[in-house]
Amino acid sequence: MKSVLILALATALELVVMLAYGATSDHIGLIKTMAGEVTITRNSQTIKAAPNMKLMEADIVQTGPDGKAGLILDDDTVISMGLNSRIAIKSFMFHPNDKKLSLIARIFHGTVSFLSGQITKLAPEQVHIETPYATIGLRGTHVLIQIN
């Protein structure tokens, strides 16, 4: 009887862990438009991107010498990348109900247009764009960034 109970508990715990994992592994956006070569690096693995491919938190998106890409995040943020550009969505939380809001993007190099979405409206202090030499804070707007 005791062992059945333990088994039941273990199964329940596993379910909770799975649910928690499922919640964090939900997609946070997608590659809406693209041209040329574009890759996504996730968990140290790099794959070729295709239009409509879903994005996860911590993904790195890279465009090749002939590549460009347009991303839409779940809070309506629109990011577009020119040739030879590399960015990471380091942190993305969009749960207005629980007031869990955060967006940290990093631009390594290239040309990027960042059109802010709802997180910037609801919690501007939680939105940062990191670049090699400076960090950008936003109050609801459209920013263009070039890093040689």
Partner 1 sequence: MAKTTRFATLIILMALACGCAKRSLVALVPDPDGKSGSISVSNEAGSVAISTPYRATTIESAKQQPTAPENIGKKTLDRMFAEALSIQPARPLHFLLYFENNTTLTSDSVQLLPGIMAAIKERNSTDISIIGHTDTVGSKEYNSELSSNRASTVKKLLIEQGAEADAIRTTSHGKENLLIPTGDNVNEPRNRRVEVVVR
User: Cβ atoms within 10 A of the Cβ of 59, count?
Assistant: 23
Nearer to partner 1, 41 or 113 (CB): 113
Q: DSSP letters of 3-60?
A: HHHHHHHHHHHHHHHHHHHHHHTS--EEEEEEES-EEEEETTEEEE--TT-EE-TT-E
Stretch that binds partner 1, among 1-9, 10-18, 40-48, 70-78 (CB under 8 A): 70-78
- Which span (6-14, 17-25, 39-47, 110-118) binds partner 1, by CB under 8 A? 110-118
147: contact with partner 1 by CB under 8 A = yes
Neighbours of 35 (CB within 10 A): 13
Burial of 82 (0-12, 13-18, 19+ CB in 10 A): middle
- Applying CB under 8 A, among 40, 49, 61, 71 the residue interacting with partner 1 is 71
Residues 54, 32: contact at Cβ < 8 Å?
Answer: no
Identify the residue among 49, 81, 93, 101 touching partner 1 (CB under 8 A).
81
- Which residue in 40, 49, 85, 93 binds partner 1 (CB under 8 A)? 85
Residues found near partner 1 in the complex (CB under 8 A): 30, 32-35, 52, 54, 68-72, 74, 76, 78, 80-83, 85, 96-97, 109, 111-113, 115-116, 120, 131-148
